[in-house]
Amino acid sequence: MKIFPSFIVLVVLMYFTLMCSKWPGDEHDHEEHAHPSSVAQEHEHSGESGTQDQQQSHDYGLDETQTHEDHEHAEDKAHAHGALESTDVQDHEHDHTAEGFITVEGDWEKLVGLETTVARIDGIERLVSVPGQIVPDQNAVAIVSPFIEGSVNCAFVNLGDRVNIGDELVCLTSPQIGILRAEYDKAKAELEISRQNFERRQKLFKENIISERAFQEIELSKNIAEVNYNYAMKKLLAIGITEDEIDNPPTGHSNAIGSTIHIHAPISGIITSRNASVGQKVDPSTRLYEIINLETVWCEADIFEKDLTRVKIDQKVRINVSAHPDQYFMGKIFYVASTLNPDTKTIKIFIEIDNRSKKLKPGMFADTHLIVGQKQDALVIPRDAVLEDEQLHVVFVKEPGGYHRHVVQTGIVSDPFIEILEGLAPGDIVVTKGNYQLRSKQRMGGVDPHAGHVH
């Protein structure tokens, strides 16, 4: 019980102690709010100013520190950004090289004969291309053979000679010719006698010296003589002797007068085959000469069944041969076969080509391009500008400072042009000659062959 009052006294003392420590602040706050005096105001103002100046000084110091730190951070950032830009430039330059940019120096372009052209918008023909072969025009081929047995007495032309129709090719000697000439001479003499008798008897008949029956008999004899003469002459003509040579056989190169025959060129053309030697025995099966007129030739080609509906008579065709890669020959279809080859499922066509230039030779292989339509407003370049590079189509484009390798996507192929679907733009300057050297230069420079610039 004595402890309890002491505990109460201790609690009361602690309470008053706490209240006394709080009062000065409360009084100051009370005076500041309710009844401020001028001195208190000045003291408060002075205290607040000092506190604000200190706060401003502290803030200014922080600002300077922050500004200095921001400045250093900005410089670090700028330095880092510059480093990144430098890296980007280096990467860009590396990419520029990786995309196939090639620089050339000095007279390198002249040394390789580099040529260029401009990619342009133009029409391009749609083609069906098949392999073909140049063959002679069968209407302009002549096989020269004798019509009788004999031996070669003289040969006048050689392989490669050009002959005109009617030119002498070879002289043959044959006993059969002598027999035929003897028959002709006999018929000719009998005809002459019959005509003379007819004229004399006709005069006598008009003077009533002879009867009509006697005149008819002599007229019949004359007619029979004419028939025999014409028959003998036609047998000579049938073996190849001309009318001029029947009565005037040439004697300048043979002693066998009357037993010789000259064989003449049936067409104009080139001697492409000779089988005639002096003393050679010949007969109607012997091919003495072959003559071909090459002013027109044919191209024989095989069309696949799927393209048959796109082929018709008089259709235009463009021909190209490896002997003249930069030249194209025009022709037209004049024959389409009626049946397909059962093994290849192709149908044969023949194309007639004007060959007065004599550049096309029988036996040449030909690229045959049938023109089946045309596409307008296509981006086209020469086919020579496009190279095959590891299953890619590439073109080298001239740009400031060098040449750029472009990977392109091609479309219609139409000699001598090709359509470009992607990878070029109109006006691009593309290399048509010297691009193989550029590709070699690119590979020697270590440029990625799969890289390329695409528009």
pLDDT digits (tens, 9 = 90+) for 205-241: 888 888 888 889 999 999 999 999 999 999 999 988 8
pLDDT of residue 255: 61
Which amino acid is present at 339? T
180: closest CA among 238, 141, 109, 131? 238
pLDDT of residue 142: 96
Q: Is the pLDDT of residue 353 over 90?
A: yes
Token representation of residue 211: 């009867």
**Taking all residues of the chain, what is their mean pLDDT, rounded to a whole number?**
79
Q: Which residues, 6 or more positions from 282, have their beta carbon under 8 angstroms from its beta carbon?
A: 145, 146, 149, 150, 151, 152, 172, 276, 288
Minimum mean pLDDT range among 19-28, 85-94, 371-380: 85-94
Q: Which residues, 6 or more positions from 304, have their beta carbon under 8 angstroms from its beta carbon?
A: 130, 345, 346
Half-sphere exposure of 373 (CA within 13 A, CB side): 6
- For 139-170, what is each residue's pLDDT tens digit? 999 999 999 999 998 999 999 999 999 999 99
Q: Is the pLDDT of residue 90 over 90?
A: no
pLDDT of residue 58: 40
Identify the sign of the CA torsion 432, 436, 437, 440. Answer: positive
Minimum mean pLDDT range among 105-114, 182-191, 324-333, 405-414: 105-114
pLDDT band at residue 330, thresholds of 50, 70 and 90? very high
pLDDT of residue 256: 62
Q: Is the pLDDT of residue 183 over 80?
A: yes
pLDDT of residue 275: 94
End-to-end Cα spacing for the chain: 106
Across the range 88-97, mean pLDDT stands at 38
- Sheet with 141-144: strands ordered across: 141-144, 289-292, 269-274, 162-163
Across the range 76-94, mean pLDDT stands at 38
pLDDT band at residue 67, thresholds of 50, 70 and 90? very low
Q: Is 253 helix (H, G, I), strand (E, B) or coil?
A: coil
Name the percent of the chain lying above pLDDT 90: 48
pLDDT band at residue 32, thresholds of 50, 70 and 90? very low
Distance CA 291, CA 304 (A): 34
pLDDT of residue 101: 81
Q: Is the pLDDT of residue 74 over 50?
A: no
Q: Is the pLDDT of residue 17 over 50?
A: yes
32: closest CA among 21, 40, 20, 42? 40
Q: Is the pLDDT of residue 387 over 70?
A: yes
Minimum mean pLDDT range among 57-61, 124-128, 355-359: 57-61
Minimum mean pLDDT range among 31-45, 222-236, 261-275, 299-313: 31-45
| Contact assessment for residue 429 and residue 420, using Cβ atoms and an 8 Å cutoff | no
Across the range 77-88, mean pLDDT stands at 39
Which amino acid is present at 3? I
User: In sequence order, what E strands does 217-288 have?
Assistant: 260-264, 269-274, 281-282
The helix (H) or strand (E) run that includes residue 348 is strand 346-354
pLDDT of residue 140: 94
Q: Is the pLDDT of residue 82 over 50?
A: no
C-alpha distances (whole Å) from 56 to each of 43, 71, 72, 184, 432 are 19, 22, 24, 150, 78
pLDDT of residue 455: 53
